[in-house]
Amino acid sequence: MRILITGAAGRLGRRLARQLADAHDLQTTDVVVGADVTVDLTDFDACRRLMRECAPEIVLHAAAWTDVDGCALDPQRALSVNGLATAHLAALTSSGGIPILYISSNEVFDGALGQPYSEYDRPNPLNPYGYSKWYGERAITQVNPRHYIVRTAWLFAHGGSNFIQAILAAARAGKALRVVTNEVANPTYANDLASAIAQLIESDRYGIYHLVNEGAVSRWGFARSILDYAGCAETPIERISRHEWQRPSLPPEQTAMANVAGASLGIRLRPWQEALRAFLDAEGAN
CB atoms within 10 A of CB 76: 11
Question: What is 2-162+186-214+256-271's CATH number, 3.40.50.150, 1.10.4160.10, 3.40.50.800, 3.40.50.720?
Answer: 3.40.50.720
- pLDDT, tens digit, 9 for 90 and up, residues 138-179: 999 999 999 999 999 999 999 877 899 999 999 988 888 999
Between 34-43, 113-122, 216-225, 273-282, the lowest mean confidence (pLDDT) is in 34-43
Average pLDDT over residues 92-117: 96
- So what's the pLDDT on residue 128? 97
- Residue 58 parent element (H or E): strand 58-61
- So what's the pLDDT on residue 131? 97
Whole-angstrom distance, CA of residue 214 vs CA of residue 258: 8
- Per-residue pLDDT band at 31 (split at 50, 70, 90): very low
- So what's the pLDDT on residue 38? 72
Beta carbons within 8 Å of 53's beta carbon, 6+ residues apart: 37
- So what's the pLDDT on residue 28? 63
If you average pLDDT over each of 4-18, 27-41, 267-281, which comes out highest?
267-281
Model pTM greater than 0.85? yes
Considering the chain, what is the average pLDDT of its residues? 91
Q: Kindly tell me if the per-residue pLDDT of 26 is higher than 80.
A: no
Write down the domain spans for the chain. Answer: 2-162+186-214+256-271
Whole-angstrom distance, CA of residue 238 vs CA of residue 130: 28
- pLDDT, tens digit, 9 for 90 and up, residues 33-43: 344 457 788 99
What is the identity of the amino acid at 39? V
- pLDDT, tens digit, 9 for 90 and up, residues 225-251: 999 999 988 999 999 987 777 788 888
Q: Kindly tell me if the per-residue pLDDT of 192 is higher than 80.
A: yes
- So what's the pLDDT on residue 245? 77
